[in-house]
Every structure is written in C-alpha cells, then in structure tokens.
C-alpha cells in the first residue's frame, strides 16, 4: 500500500512536467570574439538596457555554443510570455544600441563671412584665391572601439626657438586617440601656400594694372601668404570649421589645434582620420630620455586619469569595446509563442 501511494504521487508530479516540457529560448545571439571572452552579465545588462520592462531576474543566458568558427548563445525570458511583436521590438532595440556605440561628428566648414577673427579671414581669403575654398559640411563618427591611450613628451620648436625646459625633467602628457570611421576629405590644408609671380596672375587682372601696381599686388599677396603660412605652423593646418558632436558630454572639451595649447587638459584636436582628446600632464611621472614605457605603467596612469577626468568617455569607450563583441540578435527560429 505504501508502494502504491508512492507510485501514485510520483505519477501525479510527473504528468505536469511532461506536459510542460522545456521552454525554448526566445532569442539567439552571435558572439564575435573567442569563447574565453564571453560575458553573460554583459548580455543581461544589454538586454535590460534595450527593454526597461525586464530585470536581470527575468533573463537567463545559455553557455556559449560553437559551430565551426561561429559562436552563439541563447536568451530565455523567464516567466515572460512575450509576443512576436514584443520580441521584434526587443531585438530592434538591441541593434539600435549597438549602432549607437559610435559618436556622430559633423564638421561645418567656415566661409569668409563667418570668420571668427581677422587671422581666420586672411586665411580664407588666401584659400579662396588659391581655388581651395570649401563649403557645406562633412560627417563621420568616432570609432570608440578602437580608441587607444597615448602618452608622450614634447619639445616645442617654433621659428628657430626651442623650449629650453623640454630637455630637463620633461612632462609626460596623456591623450586618448580615437580614429574616425570615415576620413574627412580635404580637411587638412596643403601648406605652405606657394608665393606667386607675375605668371600666376590672370590676364584680365594683370592687363588692368600698371607695372608698379602689378609689383605692389604681387608683394602684398606674397606678404599675406607668408603671414598665413606662419599661422598654419602655429595654429595647425586644418580648414577653418566648427565641430558638432552627437554626444553632449563631449562639449566640455574645447577644440585647440594650436601647437602651444593642444596638450592642455580638456581640449581636443582633430585631423583627417582621428580625433585626440587631451588630459594634460600626468602627475608624479618622470621618464628617462630614450626609454619607452616598458610594462605600460605610464599608460595605466593615463587610463586612470581619463577615467577620473571624463567618466563619460571612459564609459562610452568600454561600452563600445563590449558591444563590438556582440553579433546579430535574432528571434530564435525554434521558439514557439505561448498560447
């Protein structure tokens, strides 16, 4: 009798389990990097960011599976009867987060009428007469995934003058180099501007001048070009512009292509293929002339300085690195909606 009751109770428990079966995972995800880098917690965090109605308790992530060179995982939403439409929205939001890992950047080129000062106006005048004028804008993005910490010393040498202190206890500067996803065409001015002769002056202009007027015209034009060329050496050779970032936290950085100020903290400078965020000199850091940063000690100090001075950049950077490891999210083809 005891045996009969035992069997009866066991059967009554096993019937519901048999009927329910195993729930198929709702989502299938790809993992691009090697298996050893797989991070379940990050996948959970990514999904909760994509769907505010989900918490970590609602999400189960499988172990990583492999098929040839492909790595994939499954996500099960525990006790969540999501519809096809809800899952499509979740997958779409995850892809949107991945697309947003880069920061949009737009460069608006300055015309003469909007020059910020006389120096910039002179440069644009020469650029215009040289047939190198640019209008409109160009857009690209900051590829945070490939950002790199850079440390350097510098020796300032301008028009024959060298900073006498740069050879003694040189400061070590901290910088984050972020490549652009698309090169900015014609962003760097081809310098120096060559001096002109009478052969470079259009016939319709030259014919309207006396020899004295022509000589003065050439002298004035070459004087302006000489002045502009010196300015390009001091202030950099980027085309006059205004930069607009897609992420508001970057507005706390001030653009400075001037070689005298571009190492100052909370500044940035930009060229055709990269943008450089500057964090000033690294405190309590000395280097021995001719030696590199073996062991990466100084680079580690720079990384900590970046995190302290600009936590938003550090977060954006680390998030982009993680997101780059996540491949495509899709609804699991084996999943069946619950009735």
- Write out pLDDT tens, residues 183-228: 999 898 887 888 989 888 888 888 899 999 999 999 988 988 888 8
Q: Which domains does the chain have, with CATH numbers?
A: 21-101+325-331 (3.30.70), 103-189+238-322 (no CATH)
**What is the reported pLDDT for 294?**
62
**What is the reported pLDDT for 169?**
55
Q: pTM for the whole thing?
A: 0.77
Q: Where are the alpha helices (DSSP H) in 261-309?
A: 297-309
Residue from 212, 250, 258 nearest 233 by CA: 258
**What is the reported pLDDT for 204?**
87
Peptide bond before residue 192 is cis, with ω within 30 degrees of 0: yes
Q: What SS3 state is found at 239? A: coil
Query: Which parts of the chain have pLDDT scores under 50?
Result: 1-21, 164-165
Q: What CA dihedral angle connects 151, 153, 158 and 160, to 10 degrees?
A: -150
């Amino acid at each position: 009798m005891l045996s009969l009751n035992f069997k009866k109770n066991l059967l009554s428990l096993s019937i519901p389990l048999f009927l329910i079966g195993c729930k198929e995972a709702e989502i299938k995800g790809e993992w691009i990097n090697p298996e050893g880098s797989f991070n379940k917690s990050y996948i959970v965090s990514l999904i909760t960011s994509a769907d505010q109605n989900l918490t970590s308790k609602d999400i189960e992530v499988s172990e990583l599976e492999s098929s040839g060179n492909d790595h994939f995982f499954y996500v099960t939403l525990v006790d969540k009867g999501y519809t096809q439409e809800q899952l499509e929205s979740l997958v779409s939001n995850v892809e949107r987060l991945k697309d947003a890992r880069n920061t949009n950047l737009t460069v608006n080129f300055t015309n003469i009428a909007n020059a910020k000062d006389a120096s910039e106006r002179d440069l644009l005048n020469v650029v215009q007469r040289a047939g190198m004028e640019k209008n409109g804008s160009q857009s690209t993005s900051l590829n945070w995934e490939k950002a790199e910490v850079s440390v350097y010393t510098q020796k300032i040498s301008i028009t024959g003058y060298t900073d006498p202190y740069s050879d003694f206890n040189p400061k070590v500067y901290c910088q984050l180099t972020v490549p652009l996803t698309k090169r900015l065409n014609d962003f760097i001015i081809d310098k120096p501007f060559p001096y002109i002769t009478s052969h470079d002056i259009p016939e319709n202009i030259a014919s309207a001048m006396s020899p004295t007027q022509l000589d003065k015209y050439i002298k004035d034009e070459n004087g302006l070009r000489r002045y502009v060329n010196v300015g390009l050496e001091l202030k950099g050779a980027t085309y006059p512009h205004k930069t607009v970032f897609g992420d508001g936290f970057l507005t706390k950085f001030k653009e400075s292509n001037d070689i005298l100020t571009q190492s100052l903290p909370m500044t940035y400078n930009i060229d055709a293929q990269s943008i450089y965020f500057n964090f000033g000199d690294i405190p309590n850091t000395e280097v021995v002339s001719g030696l590199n940063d073996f062991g990466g000690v100084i680079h580690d100090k720079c990384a900590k300085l970046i995190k302290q001075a600009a936590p938003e950049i550090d977060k954006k950077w680390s998030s982009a690195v993680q997101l780059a490891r996540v491949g495509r999210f899709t609804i699991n083809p084996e999943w069946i909606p619950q009735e």
